[in-house]
Structure 1
Amino acid sequence: MNAQVQVAEERTPSPIQAISAMLDSQAFAPKIAASLDGTGISAERFKRAALAALSRPEAQYLVEKCNRASIYTALMNAAAAGLELHPALGQAYLVPRGGQAVLQVGYKGYIALASRAGLAVEADVIYAGDRFRVVKGTNPDISVEPEFDPAKRGEWVAVYVITHYASGAKTLTFMTRAEVEKVRNRYSDAYKRGGKGAEVWNENPEEMAKKTCIRRASKLWPISVPGGDDEGGDTVDHAPQHQGMRDVTPAPRAGGAAALDALGESL
């Protein structure tokens, strides 16, 4: 009996192996290749980046606990947006939300999408010691005289994003620190849980502020992110407090190709 159990366990694919097989299946591989056409990203490169991201220790909870179908959908959404999931690129991530895996676009991903759309984007933070002037209206603009002395610079107080369009028009998105922190407190599950989830905000506040402001600015851009997490989330999402959650995705069975095809057709 023990030998039979051991053989059965050896034949049961790991979650990563199952995801890899799905990406190679006829239900998904052609759709991924079609979505990536024209982006300069091959299907094989996309797959390698996705598996590298999902194999990281911080992705273990998502891979093991999130609904498997939601993982496949999020991967398809990343391909449709032409974004790679490799952690080193910082373009996009899969994060758990209530037992579902969702695509979350990083601020570098938004900038990449803007560039493809013919936009030029600049983002920066303003410190208490800086002198700045904001102009609203039909020709918005901002001018900043930075304080370069670290002793006089003080803490960051605001963040802005200027978007330049091919037509010569531009938009200005400006957020105070209080506005950024309000978004963080409302939308960031990782920050609210504390621990490692809050470290990304506490250790890199300026970068997280730029990310938040870029996300808000992107609402005016001519881009689309299918299934993307709307606002405020971050790129670190550990879930030690979600131990009661379980993955309800049925385990793959022999002869289940029809079910996989049906899932592929629905995406």
Structure 2
Amino acid sequence: MATNQSLKTQLANKNGQAPSTQGSTMKGLLASPSVIKRFEEVLGKRATQFTASILSLYNNEKMLQKAEPMSVISSAMIAATLDLPVDKNLGYAWIVPYGGKAQFQLGYKGYIQLALRTGQYRYINVTPIHEGELIKWNPLTEEIDIDFEQRESEAVIGYAAYFELLNGFRKTVYWTREQVEKHRKKFSKSDFGWKNDWDAMAMKTVLKSLLSKWGILSVEMQKAVIEDNEDRELKDITPEEDDNTIEYEVQEEQTEEPAKESKSKKSKKESAQNTMDMKFD
């Protein structure tokens, strides 16, 4: 059975070129008609700009280049379905490497954006609390007294998140920095985001806890909470007839071919192996 690498080499030799690198593989995948079509179905005319941002992110992140290219595209597709940019500087959504694969992570600005789209929130915010600013906090009554003018240093001691709905329901939470760190060690799969922007990840953690427990969640927000940091099965979406596209699989398993196998079963098996659909549920 030919491996992905041998197929890639054969294709390169056929075209009189050297085997492509992982970076050019990503560029080739994004240029594939099937991938372009998928993004156009979701984003319309903005698909070209979005795929360009994926390639830019990939080329500028050395750690991300170690991840499976198809996992990067799969994660980016989740952001596309939520209509959120993947530019890490914007803070709406991130694509982070973990265990050789890329994973989708929703940023705190992404949570705020999705909440505002529901049309149910009058106020929603999350902010770091610096040393000297917190006067008192009662976790039972949720009474919090903050004086931002009393800041004693730039050291962050905690994070507060708050929302008020149009019907008057309101909720406040406050986490100390130690609480956030404990949560990170227990639940975080990758330190990539935390190393790049600890405060942004901390605010996302506190806001996510607030909204997932007490907020009004639209279907879109429910999907975002589920997708955030979830392991995903990767599926090839490049068509077999696309001669300029390289098939990219997550893992290769060598199985012994059965001694006897009917033509109908073999046909079904080959059809399943050549499935081109990408699913995100």
- Give the TM-score normalised by structure 1: 0.68
1:55 pairs with 2:41: no
* Aligned with 1:134 (options 126, 132, 137): 137
Alignment check: 8 A CA contact 2:239 2:276 kept: no
C-alpha displacement of 1:161: 0.2
Deviation string for 1:144-199 (max 9, x for gaps)? 123535xx3473322110022232212222211211111222344554xxxx8765
- Give the paired residue count: 228
Which residue does 2:147 correspond to in 1? Answer: 145
Which residue does 1:182 correspond to in 2? Answer: 182
Where in structure 2 are there 5+ consecutive unaligned residues? 1-12, 244-270
Deviation string for 1:209-265 (max 9, x for gaps)? 3233123223244113163216xxxxxxxxxxxxxxxxx999x89736889983335
1:219 aligned counterpart, secondary structure: helix
Corresponding letter in the other structure for 2:144: I
Distance 2:272 2:188 in 1: 35
* Aligned with 2:208 (options 206, 210, 215): 215
1:124 aligned counterpart, secondary structure: strand
Corresponding letter in the other structure for 2:241: G
Distance 1:198 1:214 in 2: 16
- Structural mapping, 1:85-234, within 5 Å: 85-118=86-119, 119=121, 120-136=123-139, 140-148=142-150, 152-153=152-153, 155-188=155-188, 191=191, 199-200=195-196, 205-220=198-213, 221=215, 222=217, 223=221, 224-225=223-224, 227-229=227-229
2:206 aligned counterpart, secondary structure: helix
Corresponding letter in the other structure for 2:181: E
Alignment check: 8 A CA contact 1:62 1:96 kept: yes
Which residue does 1:238 correspond to in 2? Answer: none
Where in structure 1 are there 5+ consecutive unaligned residues? 231-247
Alignment check: 8 A CA contact 1:68 1:249 kept: no
C-alpha displacement of 1:9: 1.3
C-alpha displacement of 1:105: 1.4
Which residue does 2:256 correspond to in 1? Answer: none
1:35 pairs with 2:42: yes
* Aligned with 1:18 (options 28, 37, 57): 28
Corresponding letter in the other structure for 2:146: V
Structure possessing the higher radius of gyration over alpha carbons: 2
Taking structure 1 as reference, are residues 261 and 62 closer, same or farther at Cα in structure 2, changes over 3 Å only? Answer: farther
1:83 aligned counterpart, secondary structure: coil
Which residue does 1:84 correspond to in 2? Answer: 85
Distance 1:148 1:214 in 2: 24
Alignment check: 8 A CA contact 2:30 2:36 kept: no
1:263 pairs with 2:265: no
Distance 2:64 2:29 in 1: 12
Deviation string for 1:41-92 (max 9, x for gaps)? 8222222222221221x2x3433x4334323321221111111112332211
Alignment check: 8 A CA contact 2:85 2:93 kept: yes
1:263 aligned counterpart, secondary structure: coil
2:161 aligned counterpart, secondary structure: strand
Corresponding letter in the other structure for 2:39: I
- Give the TM-score normalised by structure 2: 0.65
Identity of aligned residues (%): 23
Alignment check: 8 A CA contact 1:67 1:249 kept: no
Taking structure 1 as reference, are residues 253 and 83 closer, same or farther at Cα in structure 2, changes over 3 Å only? Answer: closer
Distance 1:42 1:260 in 2: 31
Distance 1:115 1:11 in 2: 44
1:9 aligned counterpart, secondary structure: coil
